[in-house]
Amino acid sequence: METIFTTGCHYRFIFLSLLLTTAVANADQPWQEPTQAVHHDSFFAAKNALAAGDFALFQILFDSLKTYPLAYYLRYLQLKAQMTEVPSHEISQFLQQHRYSSFAQDLRRDWLFYLAEQNQWQQFLTDYVPQPHVGLQCLAQYAQIQTHGADNTTLNEAIKLWKVGKSQPNHCDPLFNYLYARHHINDDLLWQRIALVMDSKTPQLAKALLPNFSDPQLQNLAQLWLAVHDNPNSLLTLIADDTPKMRQIMIDGLKQQSKSDINTAYQTWLQWANRYGFSPTENQQIQQNFALSALQQDLPNTKQWQDAIKNQSRSLALAQMQTQWAFKHQDWSMLLDAIQALPPEEKDQLRWQYWQARALNHTSQTAQAQNLFKSLAKQRDYYGFLAADHLSVEYKLAEKPVAYQKQDLQKLLTDHPEFFYVKEFHAVGLGDLAKREWWALMEKLSSRERALAAVQARQWEWYNYGIYAAHKANVYDDLNIRFPMPFYQKISANANDQALSPSWVYGIIRQESAFSTVIASHVGAMGLMQLMPATGQAVAEQIGLELDNPEAIYQIDNNLRLGTAYLRQMLDQFDDNPLLASAAYNAGPGRVKRWLQQRPCLPTDVWVELIPFKETRNYVRNVLMYSNIFNLRLNEKNPDLRLAAMKINHCSD
């Protein structure tokens, strides 16, 4: 069989032919939409030449494409491949010129690590901008010390990086070794980090820190802490001096002991009450640890442990755990107390306003509950729709399109050529790279520009990009952008073939892919309806659909036919309940059946809150909300999609 693209003269002849065609096509003309196919061929020829290590041919092709929108991507690939050979100022120039590009961000990360390996600290600082990678944050402080010395600001930042409850990346070792060698980390700081580490449940790191103590007594005390943490029953025979550090050890020991024997831990605490001077704050901490352990174990006397801390402020984790226990046992008074203990920014969320109303209603505070329900029912939200069901009123959409003029969009595109870069990535079939650059572009734009970008994306039928841009702009009321209705004929036809609500199918697609036809999840789910390959193949065999290859699942017609058929199967398994079928579509039918066995008869809203997987819990809430939004936008008027209609095993609320 003949190989068309080979190394040697034939390989270069083909590329040089493309080069000549490209040179004629360019003729000193700036790039204009749409790009001719020859540009695409030359682009891939240059990309392949670079991958093959033919840098000379790449340079010739690259020089002919300098006005092409994706020339900067080729330059990125070149700099990445030849990082150790090109002059530093060329990399610096690229990083500055394309600083908002995702490729520049990747190149900067690799470049900074390379400079650190070469001890080129001045160049490191020249090209450094704040980084999410902790290792680079450490190297930046070390570079500062190496070039300008250790002032107080640098030392404070370095210590902040060190004083955490987890192990930091190896790239932090030079900085931390410097701190130890110059005695900037004293025993007091070491003890503070030991406390953070123990609270983070990483005792092995605490053990590794022990040799750094200069005071043998403190080192022995830290070793005692590790021993008590590992064997909390040793508390029963512990006799020690009454010091703040010793009480820290005792509090942690009681916490560990309460996880297996809360009553013994409680009795130990009572015995110590007169011997050790626990402060009110320390006693409160002990009580809350007991309350948390009781919740985690769901002990028979859990409610008594919660009553003991009823008037105390408490951690967010404890308050949230209390709400889950209250949901499970439908303890409405405890739910009210737990909600009141939430931080204001948490308590003000629609979710907790709704549950406060539910709890008030169940504790004979009907007037307050009704007022909350009325306020919530105005919201286009899952909890707003639940509130509307309680009042038996219609769901509200509250639509408000983004206001703009045509010239606003023209200016946006003129000011930001990155829009055309994204467009060209799509034109050459590199959708993943287009998505990366769109996400990066949103970080560059102002809030108003993001809103306009959402409008432009919708006009270009980049539905998922528009949804993302609207979210980044905090623009939630333009429903044409956030809840578009593409592929209507195909979606409605497939939905009708399976006797499904088109609005529900739209809700599933909106949650699964945001209308991206080429998206693949991190676990391999494919296309509009995010079908796993094995599921798609199995359903295809069941319905007699022949797939030429695994990639055929991406094709819109195939994806919709397979996805709606699978939804029909889920609906059949779960008594025509869209809520349960949606949960099964996400988590699998086996898990949903197990959850129903564990909690066979609960109010629908409570059952959703108790879905064990956070992803599935959010998925179900979103699908139900989206489905009802599409129900209104399509004027489907399907009463079966109202949340009140979806009973769990026909149980009443």
Instruction: Tell me which residues are annotated as active site.
Output: 512
Q: What are phi and psi of 520, to 5 degrees?
A: -130, 130
Is-contact 215 191, C-beta < 8 A? no
DSSP sequence for 72-89 = HHHHHHHHHHTTTTS-HH
CA distance 507 to 385: 15
**What are the residues whose beta carbons fall under 8 Å from the beta carbon of 537, sequence distance 6 or more?**
547, 550
Alpha helices (H) in 513-577, listed in sequence order: 533-543, 556-573
CA distance 143 to 150: 10
Angle at which helix 431-444 crosses helix 463-472, to 10 degrees, equals: 20
What is the four-CA torsion angle of 606, 611, 617, 620, rounded to 10 degrees? -70
The token duo for 250 is 């005792």
Buried b / exposed e along 306-329 (16+ C-beta atoms within 10 A): beebeeeebeeebbebbbebbbbe
Is-contact 159 180, C-beta < 8 A? no
Is-contact 452 408, C-beta < 8 A? yes
Give Cα separations from 35 to 38, 47, 62, 82, 489 (angstroms): 8, 17, 16, 28, 31
Give Cα separations from 111 to 58, 124, 437, 586 (angstroms): 22, 8, 20, 40
Residue with tokens 């959402």: 454
Residue with tokens 């303890």: 331
Which region holds residue 637: left if phi is over 0, alpha if psi is between -120 and 50, else beta? left
CA distance 119 to 136: 13
In the chain, the N- to C-terminal Cα span, in Å, equals: 71
The token duo for 90 is 């060329």
Alpha helices (H) in 460-551, listed in sequence order: 463-472, 479-482, 488-497, 502-512, 533-543
Polymer length of the chain: 653
With CA atoms as reference, report the closest residue to 479 among 376, 377, 384, 397: 397
Is-contact 471 445, C-beta < 8 A? no
Q: How far is CA 344 from the centre of its chain?
A: 23
What number of other Cβ atoms are within 10 A of residue 523's Cβ?
A: 7
